[in-house]
A and B are shown apart, each in its own frame.
Chain A
Amino acid sequence: MLKARLATCGFSSRQRKNGVPLREEFTKGIIRQNPVISLTPLGLCPTLAVTTSLKNGIAMGVATTAVLVSSNLIISIFKRLIPKEIRIPCYIVVIASFVTIVELTMQATLPPALNQQLGIFIPLIVVNCIILGRAEAFASKNTVAASFLDGLGAGLGFVLALALVSGIRELLGNGTLWGLAISGRYEPAATMIMAPGAFLVLGLLLGGYNLVRGRGAVSAAHAERIRPASRKPKGGEGVR
């Protein structure tokens, strides 16, 4: 059941190949297989919802990384004890427990305003498919050290993507970066820190990623989309 889900998320189960240096497991998630800026982006809800300022984005990214690293660690330690049939509920309970720990820690240490802004998206780390994806695709099949590094790398990639999106949005929508005014003469476009700006920035970033990645790969990935439709598109009129 989850296989279909993970396939749509761009994950395929795999075991580490022999001879791949451990360093590689750490570095791959940061840029090359970044969870968000890719052909099959994951973890979209927090990426768009809490990136109204650089501070929020980084806080969200660090919280997710903490959960990702801890759950990868625990799942790779107990991988032989978890029965195959009920592994997904087991992963979910492990992840939810760590989310609770991170949530309570953040409420105790961070300023209340920041917690207020992150709101329900901290508990919703439970259903972030990056974490379940890494648990299923990597931690359940690999050693503890490799899973730790894999979680840390993917987490850093997520922080990086959130910092990019939130930095652009804060700069354009508020004229500031990390709360500091950049230019006195800039009239902020408030739409950028509202809902539409989030979609727009992510869309353009993904477009830029495709541009950098090379046209050949992109058209191969989307070739099936361009084939002629067998029937007329419908639905546009009925819901207006």
Chain B
Amino acid sequence: MNLSAYLAIIFGSIFVNNFVLARFLGLCPFVGVSKKTDEAVGMGMAVIFVMTLASAATWCIYHFVLLPGEQTGQNILSFVIGNRVSLVPILKNVSYILVIATLVQLVEIAMRKMSPGLYRALGIYLPLITTNCAVMGVALLNTTDAPRHFNFLEATVQGFSAGIGFLLAMLLMSAIRERLALSEVPESLRGLPVAFICAAMMALSFLGFAGILGTG
């Protein structure tokens, strides 16, 4: 177990490759739910929760269902199709999105039963997360599109810290937008356009982290 590898993953996904400001994932909630700080924090917390679980679940799907038999051709579909077929390219999209959608539903049900307080705070954001591309993005970046092989813990840590990075971006954006709502903005730039221009400046400052981890 190499601690510096985990630190690199954490720092990398929060700052250097921030999911929102550098990788452009999860932009719909980033501009849609960032008008008020409370809502932004609620959304961010829900995303951290789902992203961590989704990273763990999709890592297991990839390594225990899709990948076995990649070399030998003996996978769960070979008795149906017969010849050698690789499962990863044909099933990864469908299986990942189904796992994420199911997980979101399960989390919602479990949360409503076990922790009504938490459900009241985060419940309304959960359905929106199914179509949040940051969740599916982190699943892909942990498995098929990973720069190197990630083990289970690394994948989960990456999911968790990517969620923290999302929360950070949401928090910064909502704080800026709460101020913007009270300031004199040219009429045609009011609302989303000026929010995007502010996001551009945030992204510019996050560029300062680029290269800290060498390859970035």
Q: In the complex, A4 Cα to B33 Cα: how many Å?
A: 12
What is the bound-complex CA distance between A222 and B190, given in angstroms?
Answer: 7
Given contacts A4-B124, A123-B140, contact A204 B21 (CB under 8 A): no
Pairwise interchain contact B127-A239, C-beta atoms closer than 8 A: no
B188 touches A45 (CB 8 A): no
The residues of A that contact B196 with a CB separation of less than 8 Å are: 199-200, 202-203, 206
CB neighbours of A119 from chain B (8 A): 145
Most chain B CB neighbours (cut-off 10 Å) among A42, A99, A126, A128 = A126
> Which segment, of B5-13, B49-57, B175-183, faces chain A?
B175-183
**B193 within 8 Å of A by Cβ?**
yes
A-side contacts of B190, CB under 8 Å: 210, 218-219, 222, 225-226
A197 at the interface (CB under 8 A from B): yes
A interface, over-half SS: helix
Query: Does A81 touch B at the CB level, under 8 Å?
Result: no
- What's the A-B contact tally at a CB cutoff of 8 Å? 184
Which of B37, B131, B191 is close to A222, meaning CB atoms less than 8 Å apart?
Answer: B191
Q: Which of A88, A104, A196, A211 contacts B203 (CB 8 A)?
A: A196
- Taking the closest CB of chain A, its distance from the CB of B100, in whole angstroms, is 9
B contact residues vs A (CB 8 Å cutoff): 21-28, 31-33, 35, 37, 89-94, 97-98, 101, 124, 127-128, 130-133, 135-137, 140-141, 145, 168, 171-172, 174-176, 178-179, 181-182, 186-197, 199-201, 203-204, 206-207
In order of increasing CB-CB distance, the 8 nearest A-B pairs are A203-B196, A199-B200, A49-B24, A233-B178, A207-B193, A1-B127, A44-B27, A200-B200
- Where the two chains meet, the residues of A that have a C-beta atom closer than 8 Å to any C-beta of B are 1-2, 4-5, 8-9, 39, 41-42, 44-45, 48-49, 88-89, 92-93, 96-97, 99-100, 103-104, 107, 119-120, 123-124, 126-129, 132, 191, 194-200, 202-204, 206-208, 210-211, 215, 218-219, 221-222, 225-226, 228-229, 233-236, 239
